[in-house]
Structure 1
């Protein structure tokens, strides 16, 4: 993954799906990003989620995929995108959630990591709380407003450097208000765009930035078979697949999951959350 993501056709579609217009809202008082414990299925005391050690010069670390030679594991991740100014569109009936997708993941018993914007959690607090309290899933941070952390990021409005940390912290505050107990210390940059300046600004939050190595191409796609094939062709052991949990911008994702999951299981893959891949890559921090 290069420093500023510039994948061609598939990522252009991804970026277009994430773009939104509007002006940033006034910043709120900073809140510390949580390094929350995850639920323990054994009933033992919860442990701190694994994170990567800081990068060079103490920069926020970036995770792209898990170990290639540590078994056939793959993490499906879903971006729950909603920008700060899309409330009127939601009020008019546009759906930025996808309950059917979440129901399918539950039915197929697929663990997953949902990278959620704070604005999405505000719009759909019951769904955010339900996902966050289901041990099959984990919620991670996708910013509050879904504004870019670099210039020239697929047309996204940008967050000023001095407001980047506040934007991350505001998302965690929105999760907490919605009833999400254990949001993970992982952050996905809107549009996948970042640079050293952005990594430097987020060092105080304690998050690990999570990218991906497989682009599903589900943004605005209408051919589920083509998206499924792109996922299947790209997955390798330890892969992180990026998809979307926004019905209006990614209408075929639920169908893609129904196609991809049985085939990957047939190939011997085991589905895990991002936290398991990070734990395998770097041990528990």
Structure 2
């Protein structure tokens, strides 16, 4: 399972892609005239439901997005105090060493526990931070035994995570949300519609959660990746101890096969552009 700012509000309501730049007026510099670009999102689904993104276009441009869930639930503070590590700085360093861009889906509780790491990830242009809820409680019932968030509290849980990112010093969290456990239904999609996020799932399960065999994790990823794939992995040492080692096989092999690593935002931008 996928153990795994403040309100974005209507300002981040789903749009197609980044805003174009405006021409400079006489006496105005080009940089001053440039409108700030918005991260690409998908248009709302039927009846305005939160859109769900699973993978990018299956084109000859062999792109793949590695995503990492930074999981920590709202009630795991005592475990962290006792020494359990929910972070994995070595994994982040390995991504930097390989120069692999990635999207980190972070819980607000994780950002509170590791604010310096959250800030460093959020300020590194190699990465983008996205929302994995504040609490890592499930947004549906029967989701891998996770506690559940009530429908009335779903929006607030997501907004609380954005507030935690901002407090930690993450300058620009992306308008992307990953449901804890990947579990959602129409009720959850409806509850988050006003937040303006695109829900991000995946099409390749790495199997790294609680895995003890790095080679098996690498093999599962390599056998599943297609052009446009989104791979779900974890950057929590206690729950996914072999992920960093698996990356040392995955990254060189996919590059050997001609794949280019991208952030989720690039795949969403390609998808949004193709639907215009």
TM-score (normalizing by structure 1): 0.86
What does 1:98-177 align with in structure 2 at a 5 Å threshold?
Answer: 98-177=88-167
Question: 2-side partners of 1:221 and 1:105: how far apart?
Answer: 20
What is the SS of the residue equivalent to 1:66? Answer: coil
Which 5+ residue runs of structure 1 have no aligned equivalent? 1-13, 19-29
Q: 1:33 maps to which residue?
A: 8
What does 1:179-198 align with in structure 2 at a 5 Å threshold?
Answer: 179-198=169-188
1:200 corresponds to which of 190, 208, 222: 190
> How far 1:47 moved relative to its partner?
1.1
Contact 1:220 1:250 in 2 (8 A): yes
What is the SS of the residue equivalent to 1:251? Answer: coil
What is the SS of the residue equivalent to 1:103? Answer: helix
Q: 1:224 maps to which residue?
A: 214
Which 5+ residue runs of structure 2 have no aligned equivalent? 19-30
User: Does 1:274 find its partner at 2:264?
Assistant: yes
Q: 1:4 maps to which residue?
A: none
Q: 2:64 maps to which residue?
A: 74
Contact 1:76 1:271 in 2 (8 A): yes
State the structure with more CA Rg.
Answer: 2
Q: 1:209 maps to which residue?
A: 199
The number of residues matched between the two structures is 256
What is the SS of the residue equivalent to 2:261? Answer: strand
> How far 1:46 moved relative to its partner?
4.3
> How far 1:283 moved relative to its partner?
2.5
Question: 1-side partners of 2:124 and 2:35: how far apart?
Answer: 17
Question: 1-side partners of 2:241 and 2:220: how far apart?
Answer: 16
Q: 2:231 maps to which residue?
A: 241
Contact 1:78 1:243 in 2 (8 A): yes
User: Does 1:84 find its partner at 2:59?
Assistant: no
> How far 1:122 moved relative to its partner?
0.1
What is the SS of the residue equivalent to 1:53? Answer: coil
What is the SS of the residue equivalent to 1:283? Answer: helix
What is the SS of the residue equivalent to 1:242? Answer: strand
Query: CA distance change for structure 1 residues 189 and 177 in 2, over 3 Å: closer, same or farther?
Result: same
Question: 2-side partners of 1:248 and 1:32: how far apart?
Answer: 31
> How far 1:69 moved relative to its partner?
1.3
Q: 1:61 maps to which residue?
A: 51
Question: 2-side partners of 1:111 and 1:247: how far apart?
Answer: 20
